Structure 1
Amino acid sequence: MTAPATQTAHGFSTRGWVLFAIMCVLWGIPYLFIKEAVASFSPAAVVAGRTLIGGLLLLPFALHRGALRPVLKVWPWVLAFGAIEMAGPFLLLGHAEQTIPSGLTGLLVATVPLFAALIAVIGGDRGVLKPARLTGLLVGFAGVAVIVAGPGLAAGGPGALLAVGEVLLVALLYAIAPFIVARKLADVPSLGTITVALFAVGLFYLPIGLLTQHQVPTLSSTTALVALGVLCTAIAFIAFFALIGEVGPVRAPLFTYVNPIVALSLGILILGEPITTGLLIGFPLVVIGCWLAATGGSLRARGPAKAEPPTAPAP
């Protein structure tokens, strides 16, 4: 793959590193904001709020680039993408974080590459069965098992285990969504896809959010909800598109391996979430396993991308 003009042949440009750092933060902090938002907003209200805010902020950019008209021609697949990438995951994350810590949620979502590798195997990609990548699968899921079996979660009872299952389902949905983009939406602008999907999800959840909202939102929850829509949705997607243009589609999603570190750190430092033995042992296993499963242990691009790259999961 030919490096972009501002990228050196052997690494990121300065702008690339800045965008990389921005994405590490912007998609590492949503779990903290979700935890704060669901303290007084219903999960459905959180989904409606963040998607409509994000959609409204992205709309001018989508209109300026003429990105909406091509997307409307394939609207059934855009709705399918929105359901799998946003509607299901955003609601499940909000419900799960009413029970389990935000840092743990961020770590479990980081298992997306593991599920993506399994899906690739089912689809006939034998490259995933190479020793390094297969080892990554085994190590990553072993890390999840250590975390789930830890005393902290066990003390939480069935509710905590259900929440873990919800987050792992989110990871599975996030692993499926890129296949829709790659096979059905590769020829339409990503910005248009994201904008239309955000509006569709937001409008769907708006009446549900109004019906399920039974308490007056607090200032901290409202601030967190606005931050989710502005920082973690609209600005994050703009930065992600810029990062792809700067460093290429293969290395752009590498920030997802740093996101759980940010999520865990913020949960511990700001919310006072506990550091359990299961996290100390399972966390490095999950991160290393995901990296090996997705890359085979290499940071180098293995070949040119023929289609526009699928989006990384938006937490």
Structure 2
Amino acid sequence: MLSAPLAAFNNAYTRGFVLVLLAAFCYGLQPLFALYAYAGGANPVGLLLVRFLIAAAVLLLLLRLRGIGLPNWRLTRQNLLLGVGYGLAALGYYSASHSTSVSLAVILMYSFPAFVTALSILYLGERTSPLKLLSLLLALCGVLLATGLNFHGDLEGVLWALFAAFSYGASIIYGTHRVRHVQPLASAVVVLLGCAMTFAVAALYWDVQLPSGEQAWSATLGLALFATILPVAAFLAGSPNIGSSTAATLSTLEPVVAVTIAVMLIGEPVSTGVLGGGALVVLAAILLARQGDHQSPEPADKE
């Protein structure tokens, strides 16, 4: 009776599909772990510093056990820079969700595909199309609808979330056009080290409050293991089997999970505007992702 499901899972595409979905679900768990870490006294800088240090240390140990070396210096430098970009995006996202509602922060953060498309058209000469323009318009309308047009007094959180979306989008463009990973897991370690370095520097200028107490440290460890290492490994293993556009489309499960957690488990109120804006942003992300099926990848820089 179980042979058919097992056979289906052994199919490379099906296995990749499930792994990318798992990655998106795990990334969506971040607000839940952060809630308990904040309750234990942590602030975004302290929580993210510990998160990325733990994640990088665990993956470094895994690389050592598997006999995998770190990338060459040129690729290491590129991945460290990529990690700085992702670290800044995380700083914006967590600062936004800490100062405004998680739902609003998630929705605004997930407008990053629109930033990627807009920057690619403006600076990389990517061809535009009516569908791309429609997607950008949907994303813009979604952001305006989610914020209620007048920001409801959450201007700081809105700006942090948009900063996160811009940083994440810029990092994706840099990673896509400049970096070619020889060993994805080794590159992931260096990216996480770049994230940790970002918060080590941030700690010099911001107040750092680390988690305190068993519950807060358990949540922080859960964030590092189940919302960082597990989704990274699942995405790296699954995405090559299904293609980048399908992987990006499946990743839209992440904001759905995060908003569901915010409403059902954290108890955040959610307005019709936030739900409607979120739906438009996710729809724009799906449309932009699906257009990747009809575009050939850009060549890597050969400097």
Mark yes or no: TM-score above 0.5.
yes
Tell me the secondary structure at the aligned position of residue 91 of structure 2: helix
Q: CA deviation at 1:304?
A: 6.0
1:1-315 residue pairs with structure 2 within 5 A?
6-7=11-12, 12-13=13-14, 15-39=15-39, 40-63=41-64, 64=66, 66-70=68-72, 72-86=73-87, 88-127=88-127, 129-149=128-148, 153-154=151-152, 157=153, 160-203=154-197, 205-206=199-200, 209=203, 212-213=207-208, 217-296=212-291, 301-302=293-294, 305=297
Q: What's the CA shift string for 1:96-155, capped at 9, x where partnerless?
A: 22211222222222111110110111134443x31112111101111100111268x51x
From the superposition, tell whether residues 6 and 303 of structure 1 become closer, same or farther in structure 2 (CA, over 3 Å). Answer: farther
From the superposition, tell whether residues 121 and 53 of structure 1 become closer, same or farther in structure 2 (CA, over 3 Å). Answer: same
- RMSD of aligned residue pairs (Cα, Å): 2.7
Tell me the secondary structure at the aligned position of residue 91 of structure 1: helix
From the superposition, tell whether residues 307 and 34 of structure 1 become closer, same or farther in structure 2 (CA, over 3 Å). Answer: farther
From the superposition, tell whether residues 145 and 67 of structure 1 become closer, same or farther in structure 2 (CA, over 3 Å). Answer: farther
Question: Is the Cα contact below 8 Å between 2:37 and 2:47 reproduced in 1?
Answer: yes
Residue ranges of structure 2 left out of the alignment (5+ in a row): 1-9
CA distance in 1, matches of 2:210, 2:139: 40
From the superposition, tell whether residues 102 and 96 of structure 1 become closer, same or farther in structure 2 (CA, over 3 Å). Answer: same
Q: CA deviation at 1:225?
A: 1.4
Show the counterpart of 1:311.
none
Structure 2 length as normaliser, TM-score?
0.84
- Number of corresponding residues: 288
Task: Please tell me the residue identity of whatever aligns with 2:170.
Answer: I
Q: What's the CA shift string for 1:145-196, capped at 9, x where partnerless?
A: 0111268x51xx2xx2111111111111111112222333215433222212
Question: Is the Cα contact below 8 Å between 1:6 and 1:246 reproduced in 2?
Answer: no
CA distance in 2, matches of 1:303, 1:139: 21
From the superposition, tell whether residues 307 and 251 of structure 1 become closer, same or farther in structure 2 (CA, over 3 Å). Answer: farther
Task: Give the structure with the larger helix fraction.
Answer: 2
Structure 1 length as normaliser, TM-score?
0.81
CA distance in 2, matches of 1:36, 1:105: 18
Q: CA deviation at 1:272?
A: 0.4
From the superposition, tell whether residues 277 and 19 of structure 1 become closer, same or farther in structure 2 (CA, over 3 Å). Answer: same
Q: What's the CA shift string for 1:242-279, capped at 9, x where partnerless?
A: 11233233322222212111111111110001121211
CA distance in 2, matches of 1:65, 1:269: 43
CA distance in 2, matches of 1:307, 1:126: 13
From the superposition, tell whether residues 189 and 307 of structure 1 become closer, same or farther in structure 2 (CA, over 3 Å). Answer: farther
Q: CA deviation at 1:65?
A: 5.8
Identity level (%): 22
Question: Is the Cα contact below 8 Å between 1:55 and 1:199 reproduced in 2?
Answer: yes
Question: Is the Cα contact below 8 Å between 2:115 and 2:166 reproduced in 1?
Answer: yes
Task: Please tell me the residue identity of whatever aligns with 2:137.
Answer: L
